[in-house]
Structure 1
Amino acid sequence: MRWRVENIDFSRIDVQRAAANEDLMLLLCAASFVESGSDLYSHTLIDFFDGDDDFCAWLRDDWEAEELQHGRALKAYVGAVWPDFDWDASFAGFFAEYSRTCSREQLEKTRARELVARCVIETGTSSLYRTIGQCADEPVLAQIAERIHADEVHHYKIFYQAFKRYNQSERLGRYAVFRALLRRSLEIRNEDEEIAMRHVLAARYPGRVGDPQFSARRIERVSRMVMDSLPIDMSVKMMIKPLDLPARVQRGLLAATGWAVRPLSRFLFSR
């Protein structure tokens, strides 16, 4: 791993400054839940790519380990800023529900198509942590977000190279790749964040449990915060890269960013 959570000095957190941004803290806590449950999804992918020993070893030894470290870093940060928040109990409720959604049936029908979907997801997560870094006015969080963002970009590159390798035999045309990109980008507002945010809100505001309008308003505020700072050019370039388009066409798509970016503004860290 390129960094270790043990080397982050959480005692340097400006707790008052961090706590003042409640919406960002809600987002961080929800992200910590999804990241901390990522081993479920890695096991599903390892099963899907059974026989590709090198890739499965990377999924198990690198990708899963780094995703879980992201969860530990975010959990530690939340614990420092919200010491009264019962993270473990809230995560347990989240995990019991979330684990039922991590099944092989969620994956694409072929390996190349699933790797296209992986590129979409890593685009979303890398965009999310770049956004968190831009929204953070607390130095320790900015440091954590920068390191996680770098990891997610690295993961994107590995999945993209694997896609190119598998597509040598599957020979998906641009239309098939585009359909996989579009399908996954439209589905990126999957259950993951909705489940996580619901459990975070229930623990943070126990008096508002059972108030769906309150939850919807808070989630909408978090989504709007993300959209206002989303790195659009970076997101679109990563999203369309599997299409292998000529440079002129890429420039045209970069100018028409709405189709690629709007779904990323909400539910960015689905797995």
Structure 2
Amino acid sequence: MKSASQPASQSYQRVAFYRLTILSFLECMTPAFVQNLARLYHDDEALRSWLWNTWHAEEVGHGNWIRSYIRQTWPNFDWDSAYVEFATQFALRLPQEEKPLSAAKESLARCGMEAQASIVYRSLAENVDDARLADLLKRIADDHLRHFNVFRRAYERYNQQESLSVWQRVSILVERTRKLQRVDLALAFNAIHTHWHGAMPFSALAPKDYYRLSTRALYQNLVREETRHLLGKFFHLESWAQRQAYKFTSWRLAQSALGA
């Protein structure tokens, strides 16, 4: 990645900073979900063990790795204080925003989030100049792809009893990404703007401008291709109705990933 001090790359550096910081916040919030998920999967000891010993550790590890990079690249940003503000507000709204889902529905929702995370990290890795950062982002993307496959297997198991309709699948996948954009990103922006030692090295971004700058054409082919590959696992594509649902859901998650 180019130095944050180079004027020619300031716009790109600004978007990269926001994307990396938001990702680090969300990764570090994983412990807030593990206990509820372990309770939901009460009948699957192996899955509960994976949640505590692998998913929890790797997600928080991702957040800590990105935090270290942010500290080195933008030393005037007080990541710790910003994260405390974000995490505090996140915890306050969590009981209101999180509605209990069935095991199959929650597994599917988690598949959508893991797919989206893998897409975001892979698109970032393809478009940074820092080889060390690109390698880190690719490894994180691979981790999220493995997590996706674990939650997919959980979904397939629990859906044998629940038999979610195609429209339920679309609604679950799309609604979780809407919630991320509606609440989590707004909280992150509020925290980011108020925790600098001195002036920000670039002008502050409003969420709508962040979305616009994040959806450049250079991301779109990769994002759409991977989104369709992952989501195709949840629809029977020989059915016309399910093909249309699949196309819509792929498009919606791709657009959300580009703005995440």
Instruction: Normalising by structure 2, report the TM-score.
Output: 0.82
Cα 1:97/1:254, change in 2 over 3 Å: closer
The reply to whether residue 229 of structure 1 matches residue 222 of structure 2 is no
Query: Distance between the aligned counterparts of 2:128 and 2:19, measured in 1?
Result: 12
Match of 2:210 in 1: 219
Q: Percent identity?
A: 23
Superposed displacement of residue 57, structure 1: 1.0
The reply to whether residue 258 of structure 1 matches residue 248 of structure 2 is no
Superposed displacement of residue 243, structure 1: 2.2
Q: CA RMSD in A?
A: 3.1
Cα 1:54/1:17, change in 2 over 3 Å: farther
**Equivalent of 2:33, from 32, 37, 41?**
41
Q: Which amino acid aligns with 1:199?
A: A
Q: Which amino acid aligns with 1:241?
A: K
Consecutive unaligned residues in structure 2, runs of 5 or more:
none
Match of 2:55 in 1: 63
Superposed displacement of residue 23, structure 1: 1.4
Match of 1:110 in 2: 102
**Equivalent of 2:140, from 131, 148, 152?**
148
Deviation string, structure 1 residues 12-41 (Cα, Å, up to 9, x no partner):
x87558985221022111211111121112
Match of 1:80 in 2: 72
Consecutive unaligned residues in structure 1, runs of 5 or more:
1-12
Which structure exhibits the higher relative contact order, with contacts defined as CA atoms closer than 8 Å and separated by 6 or more residues? 1
Deviation string, structure 1 residues 32-82 (Cα, Å, up to 9, x no partner):
111112111222222332342211111111101000000110001001111
Q: What secondary structure, in the 3-state scheme, does the structure 1 residue paired with 2:237 have?
A: coil
Is the CA contact 2:122–2:138 (under 8 Å) kept in the aligned structure 1? Answer: yes
Match of 1:5 in 2: none
Instruction: Normalising by structure 1, report the TM-score.
Output: 0.79
Cα 1:53/1:101, change in 2 over 3 Å: farther
Q: What secondary structure, in the 3-state scheme, does the structure 2 residue paired with 1:25 have?
A: helix
Query: Distance between the aligned counterparts of 1:234 and 1:125, measured in 2?
Result: 11
Q: What secondary structure, in the 3-state scheme, does the structure 2 residue paired with 1:127 have?
A: helix
Match of 1:26 in 2: 18
Q: Which amino acid aligns with 2:219?
A: S
Superposed displacement of residue 260, structure 1: 4.1
Cα 1:116/1:200, change in 2 over 3 Å: same
Cα 1:54/1:252, change in 2 over 3 Å: same
Aligned length: 251
Structure 1 segments of 4 or more deviating over 6 A? 205-208, 247-256
Query: Distance between the aligned counterparts of 1:133 and 1:146, measured in 2?
Result: 6
Is the CA contact 2:186–2:207 (under 8 Å) kept in the aligned structure 1? Answer: no
